Structure 1
Amino acid sequence: MDSGNKPYDKPAGGIDALASSVRALRKQGILGKGAKTMLRANQPHGFDCPGCAWPDRNPHSTFQFCENGVKAVAAEATARRATAAFFAAHTVSELATWSDMELEDQGRLTEPMRYDAGSDRYLPLSWDDAFALIARELQALDDPDRAIFYTSGRTSNEAAFLYQLFVRQFGTNNFPDCSNMCHEPTSQAMPEQIGVGKGTVTLADFEQAQAIFIFGQNPGTNHPRMLGELREAARRGCRIVVFNPLRERGLERFADPKHPVELLTGKGTALASHYYTLRVGGDLAAVNGLIKAVLEAGAEDRQFIHEHCRDFEQLADAVSAMSWRDIEQGSGLTEAELREAAQVYIDSPATIVCWGMGITQHRRSVATIQSLVNLLLLRGNIGRPGAGACPVRGHSNVQGDRTMGINEKPAAAFLDRLGSEFGFEPPHRHGHDTIAAIEAMAADPGTVFIAMGGNFAAATPDSARTQAALRNCALTVQISTKLNRSHVVHGREALILPCLGRTEIDMQAGGMQAVTVEDSMSMVHRSAGMNPPASPYLLSEPVIVARMAAATLPDSRVPWLWLVEDYDRIREHIGHVVAGFEDFNARVCAPGGFHLRNAARERDWSGIGGRARFIAHALDPADASMPAPDLLTLTTIRSHDQYNTTVYGLRDRYRGIDGERRVLFIAAADLARLDLVAGQQVDIVSVWDDGERVAPSFKLVEYDIPAGCVAAYYPETNVLVPLGHHADRARTPASKSIPVRLRAATDAVAAP
């Protein structure tokens, strides 16, 4: 059988990235308009790219090329429209059979819609009627905790701040958000050690780093602009050390489309000096192996540890007790490989450690991140130029939303400032995270679910349980730019509220408005659209929140509608409530915005008792034991033609896949061991204690991945992630390490 895999031997980026970008603009019908729009992306007076949260190198440059940024902008600025006529032509039952890509390909939503059970269609309604319906349903609840308010990382700081204010005045902290599904372990792990839950580096540190260690990340697809930083680092001699189960082309070689010689010759720049394909879930053992090698070489920074750290002896004792045999078994790497990588670390006077969701979506992700921080502290690589922790977050403002208070476990100090500023007593009891929200919706048929962006039905784990929980709700509200799975998986009542996109002009009573976002490195900057709105009926996210609040809380002392006449008014309040945002309106007008203070970057440990802390974590005995012969570990991944749950097309260029998504990447050794052949169709069955979960009809593709490990795209495989399979303490779905078995395909592919 033909597996359909066509190996890609060119550098990432290059002419193929430009060609892919042109195809994306042409597909959306905006080839000329799209090129003009892109010239305003990530500029001082332009809009922030609605894609990833990687920071911008130079706010004065005319254009910072990023293939997936072009796709994200093209998808938002598309000429296609999903109008009332479209919804009149299709029942929701029919739309539910469409693929995720087909749903989003219908284009921009144009007016508010309400689900009509009698006709099984979405019908238009006025904005006033939509807000009145939301207010009635919320006011009818006998307990505010029966309402759930989800937030996507696309939401601006201004909308997020108003949203959390509205919800807390309503009386709940039920704020499941996309952080719960990605970097929650980072936010849990780092503050216990260094007092902050954010990265300690800036782009300037990438210019000075002598080594960059990358764990569980594929920037070629997920953060393409990062490749430019890695290219410059590699060209000046910085060592780039990668730990990742799959060999990703974007970490091996890159041809920058902005550099004519690389573009025309196709040669590119070699990136990774060392590439270690460890087993899925083997990072904790690998990092402890690096620490063990540093300690055995006596290469720890004793002066830094003495002056700045505590509990070093506990770490040293715990790691010394680990055997190299268990480390090798747990990591899938040899002692020699780990010592080799450790020597690069020892030889480097300044090292950055980066990690992505390949680290955060495992059961022991908090322990792994704390071990990464241990590694940095061991040689004083926190608070040193060219060194530090770099958790690379996904969506454009996922970090900013959390800073603005989108948090189911808010800090008491934040709530006190919020209550003082607006004259009310916020609730202090913890709310629902994503997993708890799904469980609550499943248990309570009266729940009201409101989503500020995102695609909750597709992004969440345990798809069947999650979608049943959404259908159990009394009301579901989706604030969106485009149609997606969450609009066809709805409650008894359902609303679609279309909003402005990041690229569009936001005109309010006070004139044209800008919003702000915070990137992965704590830079806060403005974003102002330049395209006319896709429809005259669209409202901005801040206005939608303000009108929901005004309708639901008629006795509120907050002047909701006045605040959104001019977003400077919102930012003035943010400056009073959110630490680090003092004089917000003035500071954010500087080119490139401003950087939020990071105490750990300054080696200020006053918030955690005066010293940074080593925290030791033992290896899991299960990691050093042999699994059942037919058991594999599945990791979920993105296609190159995809951002989060948004599927732009069916090409995964760097992995050699074209025209399909239901593929399973598997090692040649496992094909032989399990008596399978490339191209064969199999069902993937997850192994859990509460029954089978099946993802049917995946084609086997032979790939360079460690034996015992397989990989497939999400959201198609989210059905396999049990709701109870999540990170210890952080409760992030463990989507990157799912125990599965394979069997010959028995059925046709189920409806999406």
Structure 2
Amino acid sequence: SDVIESDLIVIWGANPANNQPVFMKYLYEARCRGARVVVINPYLEPGLERYWVPSSAESAMFGTRMCDLHVPVRPGGDVAFADAALKRLIERGGVDPKFIDEHTENWDQLVAHLESLPMADLLADAGLTEQQLDAFVDEYERADAAILLWSMGITQHRHAGEGVRGIVNLALAKGNVGRNGAGLMPLRGHSGVQGGAEMGAYASALPGGLEPNDVNAALLAERWGFDVPAHAGLTAAEVPEAAERGELDFLWMSGGNFLDVLPDPLRVEAAMERIPLRVHQDIVVSSQMLVPGDDVILLPVHTRYEQEGGGTETTTERRIVFSPEIPRQLGEARSEWRVFADVAARVRPDLGAKFTWSDNQALRQEIARVVPLYAGIETLAETGDQVQWGGRHLCADGVFPTESGRGAFSVNNLPSLELAEGEFTVATRRGKQFNSMILGEVDPMTGAVRDSIYIDAADAAAAGFGEGDRVTLRSDTGSYTGQLKFARLPGRSLQVHWPEGNVLIPAGPQHREGPSKVPDYNAVVTIAPAIAD
């Protein structure tokens, strides 16, 4: 409802037309109510320029113009652009001084920092002109309520934290938080990511998103009756590195496919071969299951819609939505949670009674007890039943979940974006795909095939290439051969499809964002004619 009620939706480093198509229905409804849409991205995705919404007869037939302004920021230039936009907004007096004074902190430090940055340098780093900057600030300044939305185009950089904080700075400066039609909206990928994270299904969190420390671990241990680790685990990117060092004897993977999703897949494959025992639990056979090993066990499991007692998913807007069970049995497949419970009971028979849930309803009751945010999940039983944790708005009335109760402005370091002569920045794009498992051979939005290499026509001409020419990209990690496809891109930037292009992406701690440890899915490459086979 906030998207529909907004005056301005800023889509930053995201391609919902391909990756979150359901969102486009709500963007269409917002457009019908008069909302403006700004897209900040190196490439203006065709689906964000014009989209055919199937639920609207008019749009399905004629299409709907979705974008009012495209800001073609260069890859990695988002931090500089966010700083430039806020600097210009301050110069114009376009911020909300009352909200800043009553509900935020660190404003003076940020203003002093921005004053020290020459606008010409910020624009050069962003790859934009002053006119392009002013066009965006015009849109943002006059909008009473704006939503700033971002996805992997922001988060999959070494400086991802700075990028997100730059967006947050812009929202706080105009009080676009915690009220109707306004807010900060990270777009997630898989429909199970949000709820999984909130249950603690990542390396640096316990259920409820609690920090893994002695206090929180003790609280869970008291509730469950067994010791709970008080330290962070390995992230997905760190697992192959640990295997490479010979530190893993056993790997149990529930879903996922390291071979397709992580940088430098050849290195990942070699690392996985070193793990003596691997268990892969999934609904489909994936390429990583075929990597040789001493012992590899495959466990077929139900989809979440086939689980006994139905299942839930948590949407981007924090709605916990119930889906009833689809009663069917395929071969030996079992519900994933039942596999975990049975193994746990056999490993620790003294605790077997703690893993005797009868169905998913019993698990939802357990979640409601352990994760207070999810209170109400135990009441969900019919199609469409849902609860929204935190209410309609987080940070309502300008009250933030911080020690001071205020939202904090951040001073961000600008990343180095220098390229040597003949070098390009290459970014990986998701193209037509579903949940990272089903990949289309042709992207219906762009007409590109799997091995297309997107390049601006001016860059291609300067390098002596034409559209359709086969070329090879080389990075310090690997090489990739494909055919050139012309696209409107900032100078010296390329795009290739993921996961094929992951062979170019370097791995290792120095190529990840610091706190989150998310890999940087961009690389520096050179381009040369492909050598005929």
Question: Do the two structures share a fold, i.e. TM-score over 0.5?
Answer: yes
Give, as a single letter, the amino acid of the residue that structure 1 aligns with 2:16.
P
Give, as a single letter, the amino acid of the residue that structure 1 aligns with 2:137.
A
C-alpha displacement at 1:551, in angstroms?
A: 2.3
Cα contact 2:113–2:411 (8 A) shared by 1 = yes
2:479 corresponds to 1:698: no
3-state secondary structure, aligned to 1:654: coil
In 2 relative to 1, CA 218–606 (structure 1 residues): closer, same or farther, beyond 3 Å?
A: closer
In the alignment, what sits opposite 1:165? none
Q: Identify the match of residue 647 of structure 1 among 416, 434, 438.
A: 438
In 2 relative to 1, CA 403–259 (structure 1 residues): closer, same or farther, beyond 3 Å?
A: same
Give, as a single letter, the amino acid of the residue that structure 1 aligns with 2:251.
F
2:450 corresponds to 1:661: yes
Give, as a single letter, the amino acid of the residue that structure 1 aligns with 2:531.
T
In the alignment, what sits opposite 2:208? none
Q: Identify the match of residue 332 of structure 2 among 523, 531, 537.
A: 537
Q: Identify the match of residue 708 of structure 1 among 483, 488, 492.
A: 492
Q: Identify the match of residue 270 of structure 1 among 65, 78, 97.
A: 65
In the alignment, what sits opposite 2:319? 523
CA deviation vs aligned residue, 1:686-709 (integer Å, no higher than 9, x gap): 14xxxx4222x2111122212210
In the alignment, what sits opposite 1:720? 504
1:34-183, aligned counterparts within 5 Å?
A: none
CA deviation vs aligned residue, 1:547-605 (integer Å, no higher than 9, x gap): 22122222325432x21x22222222211211212353125659441011164245333
CA distance in 1, matches of 2:401, 2:460: 55
CA deviation vs aligned residue, 1:365-388 (integer Å, no higher than 9, x gap): 100100100000001111121100
Gaps spanning 5+ residues in structure 2: where?
206-210
Q: Identify the match of residue 341 of structure 1 among 107, 131, 136.
A: 136
2:49 corresponds to 1:260: no
In the alignment, what sits opposite 2:466? 677
Give, as a single letter, the amino acid of the residue that structure 2 aligns with 1:656.
G
In the alignment, what sits opposite 1:636? 428
Q: Identify the match of residue 447 of structure 1 among 243, 249, 254.
A: 249
Give, as a single letter, the amino acid of the residue that structure 2 aligns with 1:404.
M
Q: Identify the match of residue 358 of structure 1 among 139, 153, 163.
A: 153
Give, as a single letter, the amino acid of the residue that structure 2 aligns with 1:702.
F
Give, as a single letter, the amino acid of the residue that structure 2 aligns with 1:717.
G
Cα contact 2:282–2:299 (8 A) shared by 1 = yes
CA distance in 2, matches of 1:502, 1:315: 46
C-alpha displacement at 1:672, in angstroms?
A: 1.6
3-state secondary structure, aligned to 1:217: coil
Cα contact 2:322–2:381 (8 A) shared by 1 = yes
In 2 relative to 1, CA 546–258 (structure 1 residues): closer, same or farther, beyond 3 Å?
A: same
C-alpha displacement at 1:228, in angstroms?
A: 0.9
In 2 relative to 1, CA 718–248 (structure 1 residues): closer, same or farther, beyond 3 Å?
A: same
Cα contact 1:461–1:719 (8 A) shared by 2 = yes
In 2 relative to 1, CA 523–319 (structure 1 residues): closer, same or farther, beyond 3 Å?
A: same
Q: Identify the match of residue 613 of structure 1 among 408, 416, 429.
A: 408
Q: Identify the match of residue 730 of structure 1 among 510, 516, 525.
A: 516
In the alignment, what sits opposite 1:71? none
C-alpha displacement at 1:414, in angstroms?
A: 4.4
CA distance in 1, matches of 2:4, 2:216: 35
2:224 corresponds to 1:430: no
CA distance in 1, matches of 2:22, 2:335: 28
CA deviation vs aligned residue, 1:73-119 (integer Å, no higher than 9, x gap): xxxxxxxxxxxxxxxxxxxxxxxxxxxxxxxxxxxxxxxxxxxxxxx
CA distance in 2, matches of 1:499, 1:587: 23
Give, as a single letter, the amino acid of the residue that structure 1 aligns with 2:315.
D
3-state secondary structure, aligned to 1:608: coil
In 2 relative to 1, CA 456–275 (structure 1 residues): closer, same or farther, beyond 3 Å?
A: same
CA distance in 1, matches of 2:216, 2:365: 16
In the alignment, what sits opposite 1:213? 10
In the alignment, what sits opposite 1:399? 194
CA distance in 1, matches of 2:165, 2:174: 15
In the alignment, what sits opposite 1:594? 387
CA distance in 2, matches of 1:596, 1:416: 25
In 2 relative to 1, CA 324–583 (structure 1 residues): closer, same or farther, beyond 3 Å?
A: closer
C-alpha displacement at 1:677, in angstroms?
A: 2.3
CA distance in 1, matches of 2:286, 2:45: 29
C-alpha displacement at 1:645, in angstroms?
A: 3.1
In the alignment, what sits opposite 1:468? 270
2:285 corresponds to 1:483: yes
C-alpha displacement at 1:301, in angstroms?
A: 0.6
C-alpha displacement at 1:448, in angstroms?
A: 0.8
Give, as a single letter, the amino acid of the residue that structure 2 aligns with 1:674.
A
CA distance in 1, matches of 2:410, 2:152: 21
CA deviation vs aligned residue, 1:411-468 (integer Å, no higher than 9, x gap): 2454333212111221112211122212111111652111111212211111111111
3-state secondary structure, aligned to 1:673: helix
Cα contact 1:476–1:490 (8 A) shared by 2 = no
In 2 relative to 1, CA 493–435 (structure 1 residues): closer, same or farther, beyond 3 Å?
A: same
CA distance in 2, matches of 1:455, 1:681: 29
Q: How many residues are treated as equivalent by the alignment?
A: 522
In 2 relative to 1, CA 569–592 (structure 1 residues): closer, same or farther, beyond 3 Å?
A: closer
C-alpha displacement at 1:717, in angstroms?
A: 1.1
Q: Identify the match of residue 743 of structure 1 among 521, 528, 531.
A: 528
3-state secondary structure, aligned to 2:263: coil
Q: Identify the match of residue 113 of structure 2 among 286, 311, 318.
A: 318
TM-score (norm 2): 0.94
Give, as a single letter, the amino acid of the residue that structure 2 aligns with 1:586.
T
In the alignment, what sits opposite 1:686? 475
CA deviation vs aligned residue, 1:176-214 (integer Å, no higher than 9, x gap): xxxxxxxxxxxxxxxxxxxxxxxxxxxx11122111111
2:30 corresponds to 1:233: yes
3-state secondary structure, aligned to 2:350: coil
Give, as a single letter, the amino acid of the residue that structure 1 aligns with 2:359.
D
C-alpha displacement at 1:531, in angstroms?
A: 5.8
CA distance in 2, matches of 1:403, 1:469: 30
3-state secondary structure, aligned to 1:237: coil
Gaps spanning 5+ residues in structure 1: where?
1-203, 508-512
CA distance in 2, matches of 1:557, 1:422: 12
CA distance in 2, matches of 1:457, 1:374: 36
**More displaced 10-residue stretch of structure 1: 642-651 or 706-715:** 642-651
Give, as a single letter, the amino acid of the residue that structure 2 aligns with 1:734.
D
CA distance in 1, matches of 2:519, 2:435: 15
Cα contact 2:171–2:184 (8 A) shared by 1 = yes
CA distance in 2, matches of 1:445, 1:380: 48
Cα contact 1:638–1:644 (8 A) shared by 2 = no
Cα contact 2:324–2:381 (8 A) shared by 1 = no
CA distance in 1, matches of 2:400, 2:195: 23
In the alignment, what sits opposite 1:156? none
CA distance in 1, matches of 2:9, 2:67: 9
CA deviation vs aligned residue, 1:654-701 (integer Å, no higher than 9, x gap): 1122xx4112111111112222222222222114xxxx4222x21111
Give, as a single letter, the amino acid of the residue that structure 2 aligns with 1:637.
R
CA distance in 2, matches of 1:580, 1:345: 33
Give, as a single letter, the amino acid of the residue that structure 2 aligns with 1:514.
G
In 2 relative to 1, CA 372–492 (structure 1 residues): closer, same or farther, beyond 3 Å?
A: same
In 2 relative to 1, CA 589–532 (structure 1 residues): closer, same or farther, beyond 3 Å?
A: closer
